[in-house]
Chains A and B, each alone.
Chain A
Amino acid sequence: MTVATNKTSIEQIKKFFYENHWKPLPFQLKSWEAYLNGENGVIQVPTGCGKTYAALMGPLSKLKECRKKFGLYILFITPLKALSRDLKNSINTAAIYFDGEITVGIRNGDTSQYEKKKQILNPPNILITTPESLSLLLSNKESKNLFKNLFSIIVDEWHELMGSKRGNQCELSLSWLRGNRKDLQIWAMSATIGNIEEAGRAIIGVKAKAPTIISTNIQKEIEITSVLPEDETTFPWGGHLGLRNYSSLLKILDKNKSTLLFTNTRNQSERWYQCLKFCLPEMEEKIALHHGSLDKDERKVVEDGVKNGLIKWVVCTSSLDLGIDFQPVDQIVQIGSAKNLARLIQRAGRSSHRPGGKSNIIFMPTNSLELFEISAMRRIIKSGVSEKINLPELSFDVLLQHLVSLACGPGFNSIIEKERIKDCWSYRNLNNKDWDWCIEFLEYGGKCLKAYPKYKKIEREKSKDDKNKFNYFVKDKSLIRMHKFNIGTITSDKFINVKYSRGKSLGNLEENFASKLKAGDIFYFAGRMLQFVKMRDMTLYVKNSSKKSSLIPAWVGGQMAISDLLSDSLRKEIDICTELDHRGDHLNKELNSLLPILKKQKAVSNIPKRNQLLIEIYKTKDLTNLFVFTLDGKFVNEGIAFLWASRLAKKKKSTFSITANDFGFSLTASEDYDFKIIKEEFFYLIENKNLEDDLENAINFSELTKRRFKNIAQISGLVNHNNPTKTKSSSQLQISSSLFYDVFAKYEEDHLLIKQAHAEVKEYQLENKRITNSLKRLSNLKMILNETETPSPFAFPLLVERLKNTLSNESIEKRVEKLIKKYNR
């Protein structure tokens, strides 16, 4: 476009703003200009500042020029289904101004089959979708045709996708779309993060011109109010529910204000919902529950209820996290640690969805140590530093899924596709050998052809344009069906539908939980007491029950650790607390309320200064526990724990169970194990020499790789989610990922997916680089070793943690001997 037409376009956008009594902000103007100049990039502004219109108006004014009745021109990718309807409304408002005929469609897991078919036949001009649904669209036979008019893609809340494999999935889909249309313009919107250049690269590809970064200096003020315990003795040291202090929270909440209560897990949200309804019977009709496992109709009732003011309080998980505009939300409550600052700021941002407004968040700690975190967060916000979010690299499982998607739809040519994929930021280091392995894996099943006589997933077909070339396709219709059914499983486990016997669907549960239920069992789900009636064809039939039960399903979610930035601040907070003599005058509100606990910690053991490493040994009747407070974020702490276990086991064959949290880690051994050995071996334990080998050892003697492999097997299509329409035969296709792991390990050493699992363990759990840095820091610390009579307050959360890893280099026989000692008792 010429400069002159750009100017007219911008004038027109401004006019739309003025007519709505809005004033274009400088960053919005910059975004429109950059778009109309043909640039690509990222818009980085805090939530609720008007970034949707910053990204949208450019494409809209271009759409006006070239639009035909049917045809997809603009694609909008959002991380959450819940965002779509609100997004559609705001797009419509603007679209009507330019051209009353512009059509906007939504396509995600909640869209009906009929609607989806219609969209393929007569595509809407603008389509709002999720990464999973986009991936599914690519597997459509019509995809090339469908996207031929596409000129613009907007990725919303990119920072939310970036940190996970969904980000990879999105990158891969974008790479294909870029290949399909060379002049595609792509923009992402992101919250403020530390590595925004990388975020931009991931969106537009490695080879393109550098991304344009548009940021603003709009600083949203955030006020954090912590709910402090009234009675110090009731303050829990462990646990993750925080229910014991609900009364303190209720005192400061206003019943008439619209309120979102964010919890970290679906299980926790169910429990809080149950508790609030019980304590406030008069609010019964006005409190609702919202999480991603509820049926979409259930969710819609809640969303509508909030909008028209009938529902005042919603207990939710991240399902309501992002920009969905419940106007107005007056109170935001965060229950339990938000783990990173970006998430806390995001959630706080919901309380004032207006540029320049001040946002408020009430923090409800679930255990006392979280108060350190909130104190640390407050200090970081003041300092204005931002966190980095890293994209996982070389995820072969996601790549394999993407390739099969393409082969189900438009097909792909190996040479062309390889180049497209190497253009993705997180696959830029893909080498030819690994690429060939991927193709071989899909075409023949593996290296040893004789072992896979019946296997063919993708098959060659001569290209119509060039007889010397060939493309890959999936030809078997049932394979295509199964693959499509499995997309969208990047994060989730296997699910079972929950339905009333009479038919109404309530949502879904993890199979693992459902399989443990017997007929007649009562459990709490979707805010109701339900009785198990029967299970058939992947559906759990239930009826309402008046009986009570404390059984509440748990969903396996991604585990989170606090960010690096936060763990560094956490150490500072604890250091501040070492001086307790001044009656806490120099402490802020949170730290001050921790005084009784800090005093107890000091009495039982010590509070470590920044130059000290606190280690405690605590013996119970048949176990010895070692607690080490490395204060380095859960995953790094866990990494060091595995390293120490591996090094200690080298000295003396043993079995350790390992637990870690954001504060430190614990190693547990049998009662006769003497942990005082670490006094002499301290320098050996923290040295960087042989780090690689010792970590490797730790991986081999633990189940870490196998556990990682579970998720990989699912994404790459080895382990199938049950297809509800084809239950009989699919039950014959079930095999656990751990069996796959054993078979691959036995018959095919170089299996790339096993290697990936191994790499992921190293990358995320036993991360060499971060452990090296941490060890370096530890080597400058002075060790304080205390044997305690009772577990110290710092140690308590580690002691009660249930999820444990095991590392052992003892013989199976020896381990069985110890295990059955208790079993026979």
Chain B
Amino acid sequence: MYKSSSVLNWGDSYLEMFPTRALFIHKTRELLICDIHLGKGEYFQRNGIPLTNNSDEQNLLRIKNIVKEVRPNKLIILGDLFHSKYSISESLKSKVERLSSTLNIKIELIVGNHDIGCRVKNIRFIEFKRSSNFIFSHEPLDKSEKNFLNICGHYHPKIYLRNAKDKLSFRCFALDEKENVLYLPAFGDLTGGYPCKNSFKKWAIISDNQILEI
């Protein structure tokens, strides 16, 4: 029952969900991730809270690994690449700016609420985007459009499993079939999450290499 990836069909497109918290659209060869929150550690440090920044390095490394594995044409980040405009150190900035050339791939960022005011080179900042029968945004759009799937981030969805004697929670992909919205799990390690509606269809990320439809 555990898989190394799960599949969702939308129209004539074939979407693959990875336990590495990324979504791949085969038709357009676009790879989607969201909510990385780079610089979060340093933002906390500036405010007198000792949270390590080791996770930035880890998050960037994980991006590189996925890109190498999936070989997309384009990497699209659905918002909140950074945690705050106040906490982008020079070294972080240059690492992010080099990302596109290191991976030899175009990178686009749908600007999320945390990205406001952030400026980096070699990444295209856009408001939202249509591609084939998809709409990419950071927060879900107010109105759903027929036959269009709105893929977004922002919510950090998690699934909570419990019975009378045990409980566990996992990051998940969540599909709202009524509104045609697919929420991606937060990519960053230093992010928490929120429970999502019961009616949503969910794919739980059990570990780095296991995903499970629930």
Contact = CB atoms under 8 A, between A and B. Distances in A.
A735 interface: yes
A808 B210 contact: no
A451 B190 contact: no
B164 A454 contact: no
A818 B49 contact: no
Interface residues on B, range: 35 or more
A808 B51 contact: no
Interface string B75-100: 00000000110010100000000000
A283 B183 CA distance: 54
B168 A812 contact: yes
Interface stretch (A145-153, A267-275, A556-564, A739-747): A739-747
Contacts of A446: 50, 52
A478 B167 CA distance: 39
B206 A813 contact: yes
Contacts of A816: 161, 168, 204, 206, 212
Given A668-B165, A815-B168, A455 B45 contact: yes
A188 B108 CA distance: 66
Given A623-B164, A813-B206, A454 B89 contact: yes
Most chain A CB atoms below 10 A, which of B2, B41, B50, B214 = B50
Interface in A451-489: 451-457, 474, 476, 478-479, 482-483
Nearest to B50: A445
Contact of A732 (B48, B114, B165): B114
The 6 closest A-B CB pairs, nearest first, are A445-B50, A657-B165, A455-B45, A451-B52, A454-B45, A819-B161
A396 to B, nearest CB: 14
B10 interface: no
A455 B42 CA distance: 7
B192 A732 contact: no
Given A454-B46, A457-B50, 6 more contacts: A454-B87, A457-B48, A479-B47, A623-B164, A717-B49, A732-B83
B214 A812 contact: no
A446 B41 CA distance: 13
B147 interface: no
Given A451-B41, A454-B89, A813-B2, A819 B48 contact: no
A786 interface: no
Nearest to A739: B192
A823 interface: yes
A819 B163 contact: yes
Interface string A795-825: 0000000001010100011011111101110
Contacts of A455: 45-46, 48, 50
Interface string A639-658: 00000000000000001110
A623 B2 contact: no
Interface residues on A, range: 35 or more
A623 B2 CA distance: 26
Contact of A815 (B41, B42, B166, B214): B166
A456 B45 CA distance: 7
A772 interface: no
Contacts of B50: 441, 445-446, 452, 455, 457, 718
B6 to A, nearest CB: 15
Contact of B161 (A733, A739, A823): A823
Given A455-B45, A482-B47, A732-B84, A808 B52 contact: no
A208 interface: no
A623 B168 CA distance: 18
A103 interface: no
B55 A813 contact: no
13 contacts: A445-B52, A453-B42, A454-B89, A455-B48, A457-B48, A655-B165, A655-B166, A657-B164, A735-B192, A804-B165, A816-B212, A819-B161, A820-B161
B166 A806 contact: yes
Contacts of B165: 623, 655-657, 668-670, 804, 806
B43 A453 contact: no
Contacts of A657: 164-166
A149 to B, nearest CB: 33
Interface in B16-64: 40-55
A593 interface: no
Interface string B151-170: 00000000001111111100
Most chain B CB atoms below 10 A, which of A445, A452, A453, A454 = A454
Interface of B: 1-2, 40-55, 83-84, 87, 89, 114, 161-168, 190-192, 204, 206-207, 210, 212, 214
A135 interface: no
Contacts of A743: 51-52, 54-55, 190
A736 interface: yes
B48 A717 contact: yes
B43 A733 contact: yes
Nearest to B55: A743
A815 B214 CA distance: 14
A748 interface: yes
Contacts of B206: 812-813, 816
B54 A747 contact: yes
Contact of A740 (B45, B51, B84, B204): B51
Contacts of A735: 40, 44, 51, 190, 192
B166 A733 contact: no
A820 B206 CA distance: 13
Most chain A CB atoms below 10 A, which of B52, B89, B162 = B52
Most chain B CB atoms below 10 A, which of A717, A733, A818, A822 = A733
Given A454-B87, A732-B84, A812-B207, A819 B162 contact: yes
Contacts of B192: 735-736, 739
A817 B214 CA distance: 10
A733 B42 CA distance: 11
Contacts of B40: 735
B49 A718 contact: yes
Contact of A739 (B190, B212, B214): B190
Nearest to B191: A739
Most chain B CB atoms below 10 A, which of A623, A718, A823 = A823
A677 interface: no
Nearest to A819: B161
A815 B170 CA distance: 13
Given A446-B52, A748-B52, A813 B210 contact: yes
Interface string A33-45: 0000000000000
Contacts of A747: 52, 54
Contact of A823 (B55, B83, B191, B214): B214
A720 interface: yes
Contact of B44 (A476, A478, A656, A733): A733
A479 B165 CA distance: 43
Most chain A CB atoms below 10 A, which of B40, B49, B114, B162 = B49
Interface in A56-113: none
A448 interface: yes
Nearest to B114: A732
A773 B168 CA distance: 34
Nearest to B2: A813
Nearest to A821: B163
A818 B53 contact: no
Contacts of B43: 732-733
Contact of A808 (B41, B114, B166): B166
B80 to A, nearest CB: 11
B55 A454 contact: no
A459 B48 CA distance: 11
A218 B62 CA distance: 72
